[in-house]
């Protein structure tokens, strides 16, 4: 007879999720202090982690971070996990399966690491052996007890490239300073300091930052996403003209139109190259 883990993986695979693992709920405590805590099922026993690889190829003229090119991963991954939750609740009657992606009380990097899904990067990212750190993490918190079958892969190679080449100096040996992270700065509402504005202008990306992922040697051979949904409706270049039409389905939609307009203004005002991290050297075949 197939084990519980095998049955669950079959259900996830049938929805296109090839990478999953399990971690006892206790191991992901303490929770992050976010509102979504109230969606957690009472009597949670296990967290089923799923990875969503998002690298879909090179776009030399892109002006947003790789993760923001496909449609909003909160929706894409959330819908897939929602489908899985329904199928699992039918298969394991009496148990709850609650999906979360990103806006989750679970510390996703640490949890997915404990579930055996990748290495612990110095850049704070989970690095999958095949898909690199270009993976989103989502999870199903369940009342079902599932024995853990993966084991943590350990730290990354520790070369420190991500720390040395983080343009804002956000990454340090002892953790990260979000106030200096370009990704965080592109999300910031209201007035920016001159230094912050320059970070966006020099980065040439109106949303997110890829530096600490792109310089990572463990990402050099990262495979393109094996999930079809991440190839649909990709928008590598955001302009003042297409912004209103596409933003509703993009990850940056959670911020006001004004934030993205400000960022676009900053990257077009100046004569900086589109990206400070080169797109050269990554050759991929789109499946």
3-state secondary structure of 231: helix
Q: Which is nearer to ligand B12, 10 or 151 (CB)?
A: 151
Tell me 41's DSSP state.
Answer: P
* One residue of 22, 25, 55, 67 binding ligand B12 per CB under 6 A: 67
115 binds ligand B12 (CB under 6 A): no
Distance CA(183)–CA(232), nearest Å, equals 24
- Distances in Å between the Cα of 268 and the Cα atoms of 36, 136, 234, 241 are 37, 29, 21, 13
Q: Which is nearer to ligand B12, 92 or 125 (CB)?
A: 125
Omega of the bond prior to 13 within 30 degrees of 0, cis? no
Return the residues of window 230-269 that contact ligand B12 according to CB under 6 A.
Answer: none
Cβ 3 to ligand B12 shortest distance, Å: 26
Name which of 16, 81, 48 is nearest 147 in CA terms.
48
210 binds ligand B12 (CB under 6 A): yes
* One residue of 20, 63, 65, 235 binding ligand B12 per CB under 6 A: 65
Tokens representing 113 are: 């690491």
Residue 132: beta bridge partners? 128
Q: In this structure, what is the dihedral angle of CA atoms 14, 7, 154, 123, given to the nearest 10 degrees?
A: 40
User: Which residue numbers are catalytic?
Assistant: 102
Helix axes 194-203, 257-269, angle to 10 degrees: 70
* One residue of 12, 85, 101, 238 binding ligand B12 per CB under 6 A: 101
* One residue of 212, 238, 260, 266 binding ligand B12 per CB under 6 A: 212
102 binds ligand B12 (CB under 6 A): yes
Q: Which is nearer to ligand B12, 127 or 146 (CB)?
A: 127
Q: Which is nearer to ligand B12, 187 or 253 (CB)?
A: 187
Contact 114, 139 (CB under 8 A): no
109 binds ligand B12 (CB under 6 A): yes
Cβ 136 to ligand B12 shortest distance, Å: 4
* One residue of 15, 95, 107, 249 binding ligand B12 per CB under 6 A: 107
92 binds ligand B12 (CB under 6 A): no
Q: State which H helix or E strand residue 140 sits in.
A: strand 135-142
Sheet holding 97-101, edge to edge: 20-24, 46-53, 135-142, 97-101
Tokens representing 86 are: 């329904």
Cβ 14 to ligand B12 shortest distance, Å: 22
User: What does residue 162 show for φ and ψ, rounded to 5 degrees?
Assistant: -60, -40
Distance CA(1)–CA(9), nearest Å, equals 14
126-165 footprint of ligand B12 as x/- string (CB under 6 A): x------x-xxx----------------------------
Return the residues of window 166-205 that contact ligand B12 according to CB under 6 A.
Answer: 175-176, 178, 181, 183-184, 187
Q: Which is nearer to ligand B12, 8 or 138 (CB)?
A: 138
Q: Which residues bind to ligand B12, rule: CB under 6 A?
A: 32, 65, 67, 101-102, 104, 106-110, 113, 120, 123-126, 133, 135-137, 175-176, 178, 181, 183-184, 187, 208-210, 212-213
């Amino acid at each position: 007879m197939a084990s519980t883990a095998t049955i669950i993986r079959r259900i996830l695979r049938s929805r296109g999720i090839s990478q999953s693992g399990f971690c006892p709920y206790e191991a992901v405590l303490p929770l992050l202090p976010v509102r979504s805590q109230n969606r957690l099922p009472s009597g949670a026993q296990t967290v089923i982690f799923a990875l969503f690889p998002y690298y879909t190829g090179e776009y030399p003229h892109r002006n947003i971070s790789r993760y923001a090119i496909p449609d909003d991963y909160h929706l894409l991954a959330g819908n897939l996990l929602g489908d899985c939750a329904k199928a699992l609740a039918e298969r394991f009657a009496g148990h709850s399966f609650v999906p979360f992606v990103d806006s989750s009380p679970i510390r996703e990097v640490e949890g997915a690491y404990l579930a055996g899904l990748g290495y612990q990067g110095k850049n704070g990212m989970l690095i999958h052996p095949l898909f690199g750190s270009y993976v989103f993490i989502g999870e199903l918190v369940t009342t079902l007890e599932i024995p853990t079958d993966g084991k943590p892969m350990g730290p990354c190679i520790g070369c420190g490239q991500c720390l040395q080449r983080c343009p804002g100096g956000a990454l340090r040996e002892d953790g990260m300073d979000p106030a200096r992270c370009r990704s965080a700065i592109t999300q910031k509402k209201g007035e920016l300091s001159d230094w912050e504005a320059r970070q966006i202008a020099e980065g040439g990306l109106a949303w997110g930052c890829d530096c600490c992922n792109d310089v990572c040697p463990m990402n050099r051979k990262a495979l393109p996403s094996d999930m079809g949904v991440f190839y649909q409706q990709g928008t590598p270049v955001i302009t003042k003209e297409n912004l209103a039409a596409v933003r509703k389905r993009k990850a940056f939609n959670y911020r006001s139109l004004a934030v993205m307009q400000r960022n676009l203004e900053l990257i077009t005002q100046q004569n900086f190259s589109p990206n400070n991290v080169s797109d050269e050297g990554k050759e991929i075949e789109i499946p």
